[in-house]
């Protein structure tokens, strides 16, 4: 048995890709658990389908490319599948989930050369492909199972396996339902539509039955894993504590959104939603802690990460406020992904003993 490399150092800290990915999966457990609580078997079916498809696709790709299939054990494909599931609406049909997972692995990752070489976050790029291909399905939010939704009663019981399996595999038609019968608007989508009619934000939210507490806990319409700010924050803090991520990206991202929203809300509260609304709405916290911090597609230097986070924040808020889509977090992350090589180049830290960065 000979050693691969004989050059120092001869000691290693023991960190591995596998553990890093596993840590992120563990950090997503609260959010995944919350999604199961809110969306019942729909969430379970979606998560299982996405993760299995991602793993199988990865295995096939590795086999084709002549790489060891044991690479699968690095947990990165499983994580991509889980990520994708959590960004999809709970009513996504099975074939769309499968298609998305295949997109994520093949187009999002392996075509670039596999783990470490992709420019974009694989799960988010697949999510965007699905959104553009199936805009209706990707913006149809089923009502979560919860008592605090007030007057609106869920039409179907999401805790019933048969109902969910039918909905998942055969579509709402098999339940003699239209898609809109079981769906509702997300708060972001609702105020966007109302704003075009000239309704002030506060009034629109009143009409919607919006409450900050519900939004914080997750009792609102949205993608399976993004609704509960609380569950995501628990996971995010776990990641920070385990040193899997640093504070730079989530902090700068969220603070930027809060500052922008606060400034404009102060100028015109009728037209612009409050910072707290933006914080709990849509995929901001999911993206800030989990998507934007994806190591492969984010900058490596601390200052670069802050720049990246600020960029994400500006784009997210701008799309939400002025863009055509109600939610902009995933576009923001993907757009900033493109800028990473540039950011890495221009925001390198000052090297010991040098006055300034080497301009080149």
When asked if residue 267 is in the footprint of another protein (CB under 8 A), the reply is: no
The sign of the dihedral angle between the CA atoms of 143, 37, 220, 129 is negative
Q: Which stretch binds another protein (CB under 8 A): 217-225, 273-281, 318-326, 347-355?
A: 347-355
Cβ-defined contacts of 261-264 (< 8 Å, 24+): 261/317, 264/321
- Tokens 């969306």 belong to residue: 39
CA gap 358, 55 in Å, rounded: 43
CB-count burial class (<10 Å; 0-12, 13-18, 19+) for 354: exposed
Q: Is 353 in the site for another protein (CB under 8 A)?
A: yes
Question: What is the DSSP secondary structure assignment for residue 89, as one 8-state letter?
Answer: B
Among the residue ranges 17-25, 54-62, 135-143, 198-206, the one whose residues contact another protein (CB under 8 A): 17-25
- Residue from the set 175, 234, 264, 344 that interacts with another protein by CB under 8 A: 344
What's the closest the beta carbon of residue 119 comes to another protein, in angstroms?
A: 11
Contact code string over 60-79 relative to another protein, x by CB under 8 A: --------------x-x---
Distance in Å, CB of 250 to another protein, minimum: 13
Closer residue to another protein, CB minimum distance, 27 or 42? 27
What phi, psi does 90 have (nearest 5°)? -65, -20
Is 18:78 a contact under the CB 8 Å cutoff? no
| Helix or strand run (H / E) with residue 21 | helix 17-27
Contact code string over 273-312 relative to another protein, x by CB under 8 A: ----------------------xxxxxxxx--x-------
For another protein (CB under 8 A), the number of binding residues is 46
Residue 53: CB minimum distance to another protein, A: 22
Determine, following the binding rule CB under 8 A, whether residue 11 of this chain makes contact with another protein.
yes
Interacting residue with another protein among 241, 267, 322, 352 (CB under 8 A): 352
Buried-state track 100-129, b at ≥16 Cβ within 10 A, e below 16 = bbbbbbbbbbbeeebbeebebbbbbbbbbb
Answer for which of 17, 129, 177, 255 binds another protein (CB under 8 A) is 17
Q: What is the distance between the alpha carbons of residues 231 and 205, in angstroms, rounded to a whole number?
A: 23
Joined tokens for residue 105: 């692995």
Selected binder of another protein within 133, 148, 193, 246 (CB under 8 A): 246
| Least spacing, CB of residue 307 vs another protein, in Å | 14
Contact 239, 27 (CB under 8 A): yes
Say if residue 2 is exposed, middle or buried (CB neighbours under 10 Å; 0-12, 13-18, 19+).
exposed
In the complex with another protein, which residue's Cβ is closer, 176 or 358?
358
Cα(226)–Cα(70) distance, integer angstroms: 31
Q: Name which of residues 108 to 127 contact another protein (CB under 8 A).
A: 114-117
**Segment near another protein (CB under 8 A); pick from 88-96, 159-167, 231-239, 346-354:** 346-354
Tell me: does residue 13 bind another protein (CB under 8 A).
yes
Which class for 268: exposed (0-12), middle (13-18), buried (19 or more C-beta within 10 A)?
exposed
Closest distance to another protein from the beta carbon of 8 (Å): 5
CB closer to another protein, 14 vs 324: 14
In this structure, what token pair is assigned to residue 92? 């996504």
Using rule CB under 8 A, residue 242 touches another protein: no
Note whether 97 and 85 are within 8 A (CB). yes
| Residues at the site binding another protein, with contacts judged by CB under 8 A | 1, 3-17, 19-20, 74, 76, 114-117, 246-247, 295-302, 305, 344, 348-355, 358, 360
């Amino acid at each position: 048995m000979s050693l691969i490399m004989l050059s120092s150092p001869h000691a290693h800290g023991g960190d591995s890709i596998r553990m890093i990915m596993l840590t992120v999966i563990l950090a997503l457990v609260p959010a995944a658990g919350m999604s199961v609580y809110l969306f019942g078997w729909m969430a379970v079916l979606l998560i299982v389908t996405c993760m299995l498809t991602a793993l199988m696709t990865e295995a096939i790709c590795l086999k084709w490319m002549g790489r060891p299939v044991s690479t699968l054990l690095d947990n990165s494909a499983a994580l991509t599948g889980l990520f994708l599931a959590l960004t999809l609406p709970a009513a996504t049909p099975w074939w769309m989930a499968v298609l998305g997972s295949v997109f994520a692995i093949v187009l999002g990752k392996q075509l670039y050369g596999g783990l470490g070489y992709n420019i974009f976050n694989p799960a988010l790029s697949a999510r965007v492909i699905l959104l553009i291909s199936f805009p209706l399905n990707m913006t149809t939010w089923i009502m979560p199972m919860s008592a605090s939704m007030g007057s609106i009663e869920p039409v179907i019981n999401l805790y019933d396996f048969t109902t969910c399996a039918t909905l998942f595999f055969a579509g709402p038609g098999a339940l003699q339902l239209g898609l809109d019968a079981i769906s509702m608007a997300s708060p972001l989508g609702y105020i966007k539509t109302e704003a075009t009619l000239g309704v002030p934000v506060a009034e629109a939210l009143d009409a919607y039955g919006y409450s900050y507490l519900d939004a914080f806990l997750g009792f609102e319409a949205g993608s399976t894993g993004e609704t509960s700010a609380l569950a995501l924050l628990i996971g995010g803090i776990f990641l920070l504590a385990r040193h899997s991520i640093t504070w730079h990206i989530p902090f700068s991202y969220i603070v930027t959104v809060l500052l922008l929203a606060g400034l404009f809300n102060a100028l015109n509260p009728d037209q612009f939603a409050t910072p707290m609304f933006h914080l709990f709405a849509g995929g901001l916290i999911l993206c800030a802690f989990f998507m934007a911090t994806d190591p492969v597609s984010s900058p490596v230097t601390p200052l670069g990460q802050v720049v990246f986070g600020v960029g994400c924040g500006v784009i997210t808020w701008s799309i939400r406020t002025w863009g055509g889509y109600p939610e902009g977090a995933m576009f923001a992350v993907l757009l900033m992904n493109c800028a990473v090589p540039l950011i890495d180049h221009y925001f390198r830290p000052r090297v010991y003993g040098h006055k300034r960065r080497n301009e080149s």
